[in-house]
Structure 1
Amino acid sequence: MNIRLDGKRALVTGGNSGIGEAISLCLADAGARVAINYVAHPEVAQSLAQRIQSQHGVAITIKADVTNPEAVAKMFQSIDAAWGGIDILVNNAGIDGGRALGWETGIETWREVIEVNLMGAFYCAREALQRMVPQESGVILNISSVHEEIAWSGYSAYTTSKAAISMLTKTLAQEAAPHGIRVLSVAPGAVKTAINSSVWSDPANLHDLIKKIPLRRLGDPEEVARMVVVLVSDVASYVTGRTVFVDGGMTDYPDFAQGG
């Protein structure tokens, strides 16, 4: 099966690094025009856009802080000006905020994680839906985490934001379905990216992490990105309102493989 997204107009928030970069590349490879959102390191975003263009794809870069609704509105206006609208939104931008127990966490740090991961996703979804509802088509895909289901001590803001993304996905899917729009989430598990290099580059930490994964390895960003391409394509035309876990079985609780 050859999955194609020819002519589709896509936006990937936080699309210039890690999983977002892989998603941008995979969407472009499938034929979509890709708007790469970034908040820092414009040279990295531009380099990625040039890489896509060198492979005969279409890509633009847009700087916007997803926690700022005015900036988000301007970002979508830029896409309107460039391409006349949007067909695919991938809400990928996110942060974990660093580790601190709940009673030790700074209020501003906690709030920042919620604003990026949850409010940012909502601001972007809201703008996308304002365009998708009149055209009676479109797909919104939120990047969640296994931690929408699995508690993670020291990261209460992150886990809370991802659990909220799950319910936001379901609710928006229910609201948008009568208009021909699908809303889904993909929840990665342990994926090897630069942001978590402190874990996989340390042998002891890596060994501990691998024990939590039935497939006994870390995931690759492209493995997440390929699932995103499938879900935003017509191959998944009857799928909405659900989170698809791309986690090597982490949510299967491998500690119970030998009994309770």
Structure 2
Amino acid sequence: MDLKLAGKRALVTGGSSGLGEGISLALGKAGAKVAVNYRSHPEAADAIKGQIETAGGEATTFQADVTDSAGVAAMFAHLDSQWGGIDLLVNCAGIDGPRADSWECDPDQWRRVLEINLIGAFSCSREALRRMIPQKSGVVLNITSVHEKIAWSGYSAYTASKAGLSMLTKTMAQEAGPHGVRVVSLAPGAIRTPINKSVWSDPAQMKDLMSKIPLDRIGEVDDVAKMAVMLLSDAAGYVTGTTVFVDGGMTDYPSFEQGG
């Protein structure tokens, strides 16, 4: 199975940390040219660019807030100028927001989660598809979450944004399919990243987490990154308009293994 992406021009939003970092590095290893988008901390993006280049790949960085439509347009114009367009887009920029029950949350904070996770992904996808449709090739990969399917008390904005992103994936796939362009979602479960260190570094919380995962281990960034490369490659050339879950079986609801 050939998962090589040699010469493909890829953009990873939120590519300077966590899952975005892992996906950026995996794409570089697979031979793609990688544009690492970041909102802050340019040193982190530069470090990833350096790792890709040290391994013999090609990479660039670009600062942009995905909620700023003008900034998003400028980022894609920069890729047009530098690489002549784009073949692969990974919408990975996202936040979960502060925990609060729906009737107690701050409306501005709630809206901010949707602006980044859903509207930001739409804006980037719109720019990408405007380039992919004429060339009749390309892949948009949206990073959603098991919480596109599983409710999560205290995080209604996050769950709404991820469920919305799932349906956006399906609709864009339906629109773009006749033009040879695929749109797919990848939904991670519990993955070991710095953002959730408070969970996986605490024995009690880890015990509770493991009760939710049939494979009985927390996921690693590489689990997600390798699947991302596969979905972006021609090996998944007949996959579009769906979500692939990388969650160790969390969405299989292991609490029901002894019956309801």
Q: Distance in 2 between matches of 1:36 and 1:188?
A: 20
2:29 equivalent in structure 1: 29
2:83 equivalent in structure 1: 83
Within the alignment, does 1:67 sit opposite 2:67 as a pair?
A: yes
Within the alignment, does 1:258 sit opposite 2:254 as a pair?
A: no
Deviations 1:57-116 (A, max 9, x none): 101000000001100000001111110000000000000002110011001100000000
Q: Residue type of the partner of 2:183?
A: V
SS in 2 for 1:6: coil
Q: Distance in 2 between matches of 1:249 and 1:140?
A: 25
Alignment of 1:150-165 (within 5 A): 150-165=150-165
- The runs of 4+ residues in structure 1 deviating greater than 6 Å are none
1:13 equivalent in structure 2: 13
SS in 1 for 2:10: strand
SS in 2 for 1:60: strand
Within the alignment, does 1:116 sit opposite 2:119 as a pair?
A: no
Deviations 1:115-139 (A, max 9, x none): 0000000000000000001101100
SS in 1 for 2:99: coil
Q: Distance in 2 between matches of 1:53 and 1:181?
A: 28
Q: Alpha-carbon deviation of 1:210?
A: 1.0
Unaligned runs of 5+ in 2: none
Deviations 1:180-223 (A, max 9, x none): 00000000000000001111111111111111000111100111
Deviations 1:115-166 (A, max 9, x none): 0000000000000000001101100000000000000000000000000011
SS in 2 for 1:208: helix
Q: Distance in 1 between matches of 2:64 and 2:213?
A: 35
Unaligned runs of 5+ in 1: none
Q: Distance in 2 between matches of 1:47 and 1:23?
A: 14
SS in 2 for 1:212: coil
SS in 1 for 2:248: coil
Q: Distance in 2 between matches of 1:103 and 1:209?
A: 27
1:246 equivalent in structure 2: 246
Alignment of 1:140-219 (within 5 A): 140-219=140-219
Q: Distance in 1 between matches of 2:2 and 2:124?
A: 29
Deviations 1:220-247 (A, max 9, x none): 0111010010011000101100000000
Q: Distance in 2 between matches of 1:122 and 1:2?
A: 30
Q: Distance in 1 between matches of 2:120 and 2:234?
A: 26
Q: Distance in 1 between matches of 2:58 and 2:119?
A: 29
SS in 2 for 1:140: strand
SS in 1 for 2:132: helix
Q: Distance in 2 between matches of 1:145 and 1:3?
A: 24
1:235 equivalent in structure 2: 235
Q: Residue type of the partner of 2:145?
A: S
CA-atom RMSD in angstroms:
0.5
Q: Alpha-carbon deviation of 1:2?
A: 3.5
Q: Residue type of the partner of 2:194?
A: A
Q: Distance in 1 between matches of 2:215 and 2:26?
A: 23
TM-score when normalising by structure 2? 0.99
SS in 1 for 2:165: helix
1:139 equivalent in structure 2: 139
TM-score when normalising by structure 1? 0.99
SS in 1 for 2:197: helix
How many residue pairs align between the two structures? 260
